[in-house]
Every structure is written in structure tokens, then in C-alpha cells.
């Protein structure tokens, strides 16, 4: 078979393994432990809600260093940053379903004037970041550095810290100000005198049984609140342990980024929301609308393509919460460290952990595959030696280069397939999830070192 035909076969081939739930959890555990052990980040916590409703969760690292060191557990809550926006948007859509507002209502119908806020901007434009309203965040952060103990209220921010230049109405411009205004819409639209977070609790948190999610500092968690590490004079230090209060940060984050939660709650919320159980189908379709020029943004959510919806967040802590609709799976990863990969850094961060867990799930889940298996790795899981078996339907005339890589994408070994059977020794590798990349294709064959 020519290399061109072989490439096409590889491109369409999807390996499959069917595992019992315990095997699935074991693979996820090994994957999580393997990749987090290679990271300098202080702590990770993750959860995956599987298609059958079973929940996998795991944590590693340190929750606080001062006044005493404590390990991070899956019970710890952390800041979720802009994942908060999905809760706010869902609350407004629930209010729309009850006839309390319409997405195309101008915000001037509900709110008194604010400086630099066009009253003709619509609720839909707030939620889709197409109002053009400037972001308050750079200015309030400067104020927080001067007054670190202040608890900022939304009205104060909207009246005094909208100092940036607006873009034309209808222009996409990601701005946290939109979600402060959305909080005020919730408060005025309900007409009950409740705060925005009380409405979120009444409509989402309590009905869904999300017992680890709070609007901090107005609501204090019943669970331990993990500390966060941030750069201080070149060293990463435990902020709260060193006496830094983040109460003001979460207060000015409000509906743009002020909630705290844990991966289990976020996974359950993601599944209920994007799986079609919280909103009516027409409302969910509104939320998942792809607005041109917005980088695949809906209403309080983002898309990774392939019907994957959710949001990421950063507020010293990092979070990533997405629902994989085609796989009926929700995956959440959080970290309590402000470092992230990129800009030449070498950190394995929450995104790499997320991707490794996603790949592990896809490996152990049962999927449709090409009826003619072209490649087979056995035994799998393996202890010492594996055999890569090539279907007799494939004829490999020239040696085919292969790469053994770990969950982070790092190449550990290179070897070549010659003929229809190749052996490889893996006994020296730590337990965990690995992949064999064959030739120049994008196809990766999973391998579990047991």
C-alpha cells in the first residue's frame, strides 16, 4: 500500500477500548497523577461527570502553606473567575422564560443611567459582549491595589470606574462590565429586592443541589477555601497565608467573576445546563448562538468547536469547565496558582491537565470505529513489553516512523514499524497514560502502562 493510502487509513482510524467503570476511573487516576506530578503548580483539582451519571474526581498538591500546610482535596473550593458568567447568563435566560424580560430589551428599560453606558444597548448585547462598553477591570484593579481591604459594590464601580473608551454599539469587545450590568438587570428585573447572587442561588444553585458554590465574600463557604499562590518579588507565595485578603477582588468580580466553587459542582452545572436539563430548548439555542466576529462566543459561554460548550476563568485561580455534548461528558479542572503555560514558560497548567483527561476519556469510552482495525497494541494495559500489530490488509514497504509520547505530548521514544509486527519495551516507564503516534498522521494509539 502506498504511503498516501496508508495516511488516509490512519486519518480515519479510531482506536477503541471498552472498560468497566472501575477501569475508567483507574485510567483517569493514573493520567491525573502522571501529569500533575510533572507540574510545578501548587495544586490541581478535577472532576468528570461521565455519560452514565457517575462522577470521577481527584485532587493533588497543597491547599495552603501558612499558617500550617494542608493538602488540597476535592472538597476545597476555589475562585472560578469568568465561569461565573455562565451562571449569570443562565439566570437571565430563566427570567426570560418566566416573562420577566426579553433579550432584545434595551437596558435603559431597567436601569438608571450610568456614565459611559449607552441605555439603548440590549440585554443580548451584554451577554454576547457586543455592547462595545469598555472594561472596568483595569481601573478597579488599580483602586484595589490602593485600597486592598475595600468591598466594592456594583453601583460604585459603574458610577466611578468606567473610564475606558467604548467601541461602537454592536462591536464585539470582551468586557467584564457587561456582566456587572447583567447583575443589575437581574436585580431590577425580578423586582423582589434580592441581590443578583440571591437570585442565582434561588434559580440555579439550590434547585441543582450545588452545595459548594458561593458568591464570596457575601456568602461564606461551608467547605475549606484553598489558598492561591501568586508572584511576590519573584517568588510564588501563599497569598492568604501571607495576610493578603482577596475579599475585595471577589467583591468587584461580582457576576463577571466573583463565584467560588469546586470541580464537582461545576461539572454537574455544566451537564445540567448544556445537556438541556436547565433551560428550555429555545433558550439553550439562544445561549449557544455563535455571534459573528465574537470568536465563537454565545451568551455567557464559549465554544471549542465540535459542540463543546463552557467557559474558562481566571481570578488568581484558574478554572476550565466544559461540556462535551457529543460524548455526554462534563470535564472541569481548577488550579490554585496564578502561573500558566505560554509566553515561553515551562509550566504544565490546568489546560494540559484538562487535555490529558479528555484524551484519557476518549481512549476508554466506547466509540464507533472503522470496521477494519488497522493497528492493534497488546497487551493493553501493559507491564513490560507491547506488540504493535499491523493488519495484514496493510502493506508497509518502507519503515514507518512512530513516536511514543506521554500525556503532555513529550516524545519519549522513537521507533519504526517494519513489516506487520513490532515489539517495544515499556517496563522502564512510570504507570500512566501514553500514546503511540504513527507516521505523519494525527492518529494516536492509546497505551496504558499498568
CA nearest 83: which of 340, 341, 334?
A: 334
* Model pLDDT, residue 342: 55
* Model pLDDT, residue 347: 72
**pLDDT tens string 429-444:** 888 888 887 765 556 7
Instruction: Name the band, by pLDDT with cuts 50, 70 and 90, for residue 18.
Output: very low
Q: Report the range of poorest mean pLDDT among 3-7, 316-320, 328-332, 354-358.
A: 3-7
> CA 276, CA 292: separation in Å to the nearest integer?
24
Return the bridge partners of 441, or none. Answer: none
**pLDDT tens string 91-113:** 999 999 999 999 999 999 999 99
Q: Is the pLDDT at 369 greater than 50, yes or no?
A: no
> CA 305, CA 291: separation in Å to the nearest integer?
14
Q: What percent of the chain has pLDDT over 90?
A: 64
* Model pLDDT, residue 174: 93
Residues in the chain: 450
Q: Is the pLDDT at 367 greater than 50, yes or no?
A: no
- In the chain, ranges of CATH 2.60.40 domains: 3-19+372-449
| Mean per-residue pLDDT, 197-208 | 99
Q: Which of 10-24, 137-151, 331-345 has the highest mean pLDDT?
A: 137-151
128 vs 12, which has greater pLDDT?
Answer: 128
CATH dotted code for 78-338: 3.40.710.10
* Model pLDDT, residue 36: 93
CATH class in words for 3-19+372-449: mainly beta
Count CA atoms closer than 13 A to 73's CA, side-chain side. 8
* Model pLDDT, residue 391: 66
Q: Is the pLDDT at 418 greater than 50, yes or no?
A: yes
Q: Is the pLDDT at 209 greater than 70, yes or no?
A: yes
CB atoms within 10 A of CB 278: 20
Cell 473567575, located at residue? 81
> CA 382, CA 99: separation in Å to the nearest integer?
58
> CA 244, CA 249: separation in Å to the nearest integer?
11
Whole-prediction pTM: 0.80
**pLDDT tens string 309-348:** 999 999 999 999 999 999 999 999 999 999 987 534 457 8
Alpha carbon distances (Å) from 101 to 14, 111, 177, 381: 47, 13, 20, 55
- In the chain, ranges of CATH 3.40.710.10 domains: 78-338
**What are the two backbone dihedrals, phi and then psi, of residue 183, each rounded to the nearest 5 degrees?**
-60, -40
Helix (H) or strand (E) holding 24: helix 21-36
**pLDDT tens string 250-295:** 999 999 999 999 999 999 999 999 999 999 999 999 999 987 666 6
Amino acid at each position: 500500500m502506498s504511503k498516501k493510502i496508508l495516511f488516509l487509513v490512519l486519518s480515519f482510524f479510531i482506536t477503541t477500548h471498552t472498560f468497566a467503570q472501575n477501569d475508567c476511573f483507574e485510567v483517569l487516576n493514573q493520567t491525573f497523577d502522571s501529569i500533575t506530578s510533572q507540574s510545578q503548580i501548587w495544586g490541581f483539582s478535577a472532576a468528570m461527570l461521565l455519560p452514565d451519571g457517575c462522577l470521577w474526581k481527584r485532587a493533588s498538591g497543597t491547599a495552603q502553606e501558612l499558617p500550617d500546610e494542608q493538602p488540597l482535596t476535592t472538597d476545597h473550593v476555589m475562585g472560578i473567575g469568568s465561569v461565573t458568567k455562565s451562571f449569570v447568563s443562565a439566570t437571565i435566560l430563566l427570567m426570560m422564560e418566566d416573562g420577566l424580560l426579553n433579550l432584545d430589551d434595551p437596558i435603559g428599560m431597567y436601569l438608571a443611567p450610568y456614565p459611559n453606558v449607552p441605555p439603548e444597548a440590549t440585554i443580548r448585547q451584554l451577554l454576547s459582549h457586543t455592547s462595545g462598553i469598555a472594561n472596568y477591570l483595569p481601573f478597579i484593579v488599580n483602586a484595589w491595589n490602593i485600597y486592598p481591604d475595600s468591598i466594592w459594590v456594583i453601583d460604585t464601580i459603574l458610577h466611578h470606574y468606567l473610564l475606558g473608551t467604548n467601541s461602537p454599539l454592536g462591536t464585539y469587545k470582551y468586557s467584564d462590565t457587561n456582566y456587572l450590568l447583567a447583575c443589575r438587570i437581574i436585580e431590577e428585573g425580578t423586582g423582589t429586592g434580592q441581590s443578583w447572587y440571591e437570585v442565582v442561588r434561588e434559580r440555579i444553585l439550590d434547585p441543582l443541589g450545588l452545595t459548594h458554590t458561593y458568591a464570596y465574600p457575601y456568602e461564606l463557604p461551608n467547605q475549606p477555601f484553598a489558598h492561591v499562590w501568586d508572584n511576590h518579588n519573584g517568588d510564588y507565595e501563599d497569598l492568604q497565608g501571607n495576610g493578603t485578603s482577596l475579599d475585595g477582588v471577589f467583591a468587584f468580580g461580582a457576576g463577571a467573576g466573583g463565584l467560588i466553587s469546586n470541580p464537582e459542582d461545576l461539572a454537574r452545572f455544566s451537564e445540567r445546563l448544556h445537556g438541556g436539563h436547565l433551560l428550555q430548548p429555545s433558550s439553550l439555542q439562544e445561549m449557544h448562538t455563535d455571534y459573528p466576529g465574537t470568536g465563537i462566543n454565545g451568551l455567557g459561554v464559549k465554544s471549542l468547536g465540535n459542540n463543546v460548550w463552557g467557559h474558562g476563568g481566571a481570578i488568581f485561580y484558574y478554572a476550565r469547565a466544559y461540556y462535551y455534548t457529543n460524548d455526554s461528558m462534563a470535564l472541569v479542572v481548577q488550579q490554585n496558582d496564578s502561573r500558566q503555560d505560554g509566553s515561553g514558560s515551562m509550566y504544565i497548567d490546568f489546560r494540559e491537565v484538562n487535555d490529558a483527561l479528555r484524551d484519557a476519556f476518549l481512549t476508554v469510552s466506547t466509540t464507533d470505529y472503522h470496521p477494519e482495525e488497522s493497528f492493534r497494541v497488546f497487551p493493553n494495559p501493559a507491564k513490560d513489553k507491547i506488540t504493535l500489530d499491523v493488519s495484514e490488509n496493510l502493506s508497509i514497504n518502507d519503515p514507518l516512523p512512530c513516536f511514543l509520547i506521554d500525556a503532555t505530548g513529550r516524545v519519549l521514544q522513537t521507533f519504526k514499524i517494519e513489516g506487520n509486527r513490532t515489539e517495544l519495551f515499556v517496563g522502564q516507564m512510570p504507570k500512566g497514560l501514553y500514546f503511540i503516534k504513527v507516521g505523519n498522521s494525527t492518529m494516536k494509539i492509546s497505551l496504558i502502562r499498568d
